[in-house]
Structure 1
Amino acid sequence: MGQVVFKGIEGLRAWLAWTVVFAHLVEVSGLETLIPKAKIFDEAGDDAVLVFIIISGFVITHLIVEKKESFPTFITRRFLRIYPAYLLALLLAIATSTMLYQAILASATTPDWVIRHFMLEQDQFNNNFAAHLLAHISLLHGAVPNNILPDSQYMFLGPAWSLSLEWQFYLIAPVWVWAIQRKPLLVVAITLVAAIAYKLFLSKVFSNPSFLPGAGLWFLLGIATRLAMPMAPRLEKYPFAIVLGFCGLAVLDKRLAVLSIWIAMVAYFLQPKMWAIVDSRFARAAGMRSYAVYIIHAPIMVIALFISWQYRLSGFASVLAVGAMAFVGTVVASEFIHRWIELPAIELGKAIGRQRPVLRSRPLTVE
């Protein structure tokens, strides 16, 4: 397949990351209270994370199939890819937690459900700090149910619940991909049973599908897509009718919007044209920084919110001020993280990978 498999992936990641940023801005800035219909952007953030999960299944399967690394090499490279930037964001989030509680709980425009959430988080910060810190350092906090460690998934650094999910996936991905290539029906059945069991017995003790069985079907979709790509027909034109048809179904179930986006991307893989919206130099550059944007925007937004609160801004003035400061701060911070943390860690991971022979390796646009 080669590089064409990853055409548009970086650009899509940029769009998804900034969708999540805007969704969180809607939540914490009070825009949802001022304009109730803005809640739709919050829901778009949830969908964006699900598309991220599918992409992860697709990309990691490609790396496993093409690079054929040993598990120690694979997991070390994955660790280096996500953990250094995560650790910096986590430390900044912990350092700004008190600022967050002061600003968001004092705001008259903070939605009631957000206030309830952060009151619980403040209580956990004051009374259960060590347990939460240990869970977060292990990156397994997303697998800890709320009845054992309340608000474990969202504590300190809210967006990191999906990063914990990602780490759980990395730990079993090589076995999962190996098994599905040999016993596809059995693996699909096990994944489906695990998803049903999660829905019936565990979903109430997790705030989101941060435990791997809860998101297993989304990862499986990405895995299956990558494994099916060599058999997929080439398309001369972009199949607008198919994509628009699925987008139309999304009004019946919002989760179909996630499938629509992924179907659109798969169709894009299979046709020869390049679209600037996901494949321009700017889009690819933004995509390369998407992980840094995703992981650092929350504490940056907290700082912006605290400054707005200190200056007694309210209403739309506060929303605009927080939005502007959060955007600029996230761009600057993500550039720093990308240049000085991500890239050196990625290069170290590549060096580790070069220390052993690879049976087959093809150029990748995503590391």
Structure 2
Amino acid sequence: MSNAKLKGQYSGFIPEYEGLRGILAIWVVIGHVTSGLPISFNFASPSLWNTVPVQVFIILSGFVIFSLLDREHQSYVAFLTQRAFRIFPIYLVALAISTLMLPVSREILQLAPAAPMTEARISLIDSAEKNLSWSFLSHALLIQGLVPDSILENSAYTLVGQAWSVSVEWQFYLLAPAIYFLLGTRKRIAKLTALSGGLITLTIAGKTMGGGYIGNYLPLFAVGIATFYTYKLSSEKWPAALIPALLAAPITPEHSAALIIWALVSYCALCKKTSTAQQAASSLLRSKPAVYLGQISYSIYILHMIFVITAIYVASKIHAPTWIHATTALLLSAALTVLSSHVSYKCIERPMMRIGKRLSHRERIEFAPQ
């Protein structure tokens, strides 16, 4: 596929991937609510609810960020400015609210019926309050994933637990332009040697870091990046974009569920529609509700634990069968999260993204691949 053809059919927005964002965000909400309810004792692996969608988010980020770099060729400062205005504003709001809620959250969790994640969440609150100033500072800078547990206990998860992955994203943003440059065609051997050495170093360092360190997630980012390049260079009639995920599945079996989801969605999004099932799945992902949830998915992801705790409290006050407790908590947390995310997207996210674009300079990227 030529660059001209790519630009003609791909302007940076793939509706199936936007719908995927929305579905993944709601999946995470459901997982975090459910793992905080007694009903999840009946599930074989409650952690599955929270792990798989975040892994798919990371793969998607690799694809989206490299398509952005390839399309816009911004300067490093412009790229980081736009990314910072994209992720920090609503995140800092969530951080402030979550920090203020720590004592209330502990009380709610202690009084609510025990669930698989109850003890772990209380332990994280205790860790946060032991070193509140340092925990807040590391979270405010989004470097909590870079702080080893030996220095700050449970550093990646204490205040805004789900933001460990946002810290991973920020680390990726800091490195992505350099990786993009090193994948260029000019002096490829020297560049790839430097890239390989850097990635190996990051991976080895992960053995002493916590769960929010980018070195632990490089294979997932790599699949997203490779998917973009195979899509860019191949015809939609031959689903080459599926190859990275299919090759990675046996190599990293711990990511197999996420890789299968990514391959299936990419087949619907990037390949020619040849079957009824493919068309139906594509239509679902492209539907207005799914795409809109995708637009507000970042707010959903960042804000939802505030409302999960609220919903657990409300459900614990209802004297009714277990299934009514679970249904109440799920519906209430989802409704409050989506409503607040709609408002935050309109009032915080979108205005801040516009400011970020105005502040950034549209320069040719200094390290564009050649």
Per the alignment, residue 349 of structure 1 pairs with 356
Give 4+ residue runs of structure 1 displaced > 4 Å after superposition: 310-314
327-336 or 90-99, which deviates more: 90-99
Give, in whole Å, the separation in 2 of the partners of 1:44 and 1:187. 37
Give, in whole Å, the separation in 2 of the partners of 1:321 and 1:211. 35
Mark the CA change 1:101 to 1:316 in structure 2 (over 3 Å): closer, same or farther.
Answer: farther
Deviation track 1:111-130 (CA, whole Å, cap 9, x = no partner) reads: 2xx34423422322332110
Per the alignment, residue 225 of structure 1 pairs with 227
Per the alignment, residue 362 of structure 1 pairs with none
Offset of residue 188 of structure 1: 6.0
Offset of residue 44 of structure 1: 3.8
Within the candidate set 104, 115, 120, 1:117 is matched to 120
RMSD of equivalent CA atoms:
2.8
Offset of residue 225 of structure 1: 2.0
Q: Any residues of structure 2 matched to 1:38-57 within 5 Å, and which?
A: 39=45, 42-57=47-62
Per the alignment, residue 160 of structure 1 pairs with 163
The answer to whether the aligner puts 1:141 opposite 2:144 as a matched pair is yes
Offset of residue 350 of structure 1: 2.4
Give, in whole Å, the separation in 1 of the partners of 2:33 and 2:140. 26
Give, in whole Å, the separation in 2 of the partners of 1:121 and 1:23. 18
Percentage of identical aligned residues: 26
SS of 1:110's equivalent in the other structure is coil
5+ unaligned residues in a row in structure 1: which ranges?
360-367
Q: Are 1:57 and 1:221, in contact at CA under 8 Å, matched by a contact in 2? A: yes
> What residue identity is the alignment partner of 1:139?
L
Per the alignment, residue 267 of structure 1 pairs with 267
Deviation track 1:131-156 (CA, whole Å, cap 9, x = no partner) reads: 10010111100111211111111111
Per the alignment, residue 189 of structure 1 pairs with 196
Within the candidate set 205, 214, 217, 2:216 is matched to 214
Q: Any residues of structure 2 matched to 1:20-31 within 5 Å, and which?
A: 20-31=28-39
The TM-score normalised by the length of structure 1 is 0.84
Per the alignment, residue 73 of structure 2 pairs with 68
Mark the CA change 1:115 to 1:281 in structure 2 (over 3 Å): closer, same or farther.
Answer: closer
Give, in whole Å, the separation in 2 of the partners of 1:314 and 1:30. 12
Per the alignment, residue 309 of structure 2 pairs with 302
> What residue identity is the alignment partner of 1:13?
R
> What residue identity is the alignment partner of 1:101?
R
Give, in whole Å, the separation in 1 of the partners of 2:102 and 2:314. 14
Deviation track 1:140-199 (CA, whole Å, cap 9, x = no partner) reads: 001112111111111111110000100011111111111122446436633652465256
Give, in whole Å, the separation in 1 of the partners of 2:293 and 2:226. 27
Q: Are 1:68 and 1:358, in contact at CA under 8 Å, matched by a contact in 2? A: yes
Give, in whole Å, the separation in 2 of the partners of 1:152 and 1:314. 37
Mark the CA change 1:257 to 1:194 in structure 2 (over 3 Å): closer, same or farther.
Answer: farther
Deviation track 1:220-271 (CA, whole Å, cap 9, x = no partner) reads: 22122222322222228x89xx89x96xx89x94522222122223333433
SS of 1:235's equivalent in the other structure is coil
Q: Are 1:198 and 1:213, in contact at CA under 8 Å, matched by a contact in 2? A: yes
The answer to whether the aligner puts 1:286 opposite 2:289 as a matched pair is no
Per the alignment, residue 17 of structure 2 pairs with 9
Q: Any residues of structure 2 matched to 1:239-258 within 5 Å, and which?
A: 253=253, 255-258=255-258
Q: Are 1:177 and 1:223, in contact at CA under 8 Å, matched by a contact in 2? A: no
SS of 1:28's equivalent in the other structure is coil
> What residue identity is the alignment partner of 1:179?
L
Mark the CA change 1:290 to 1:313 in structure 2 (over 3 Å): closer, same or farther.
Answer: same
SS of 1:169's equivalent in the other structure is helix
Give, in whole Å, the separation in 2 of the partners of 1:168 and 1:271. 31
5+ unaligned residues in a row in structure 2: which ranges?
1-5, 274-278, 366-370
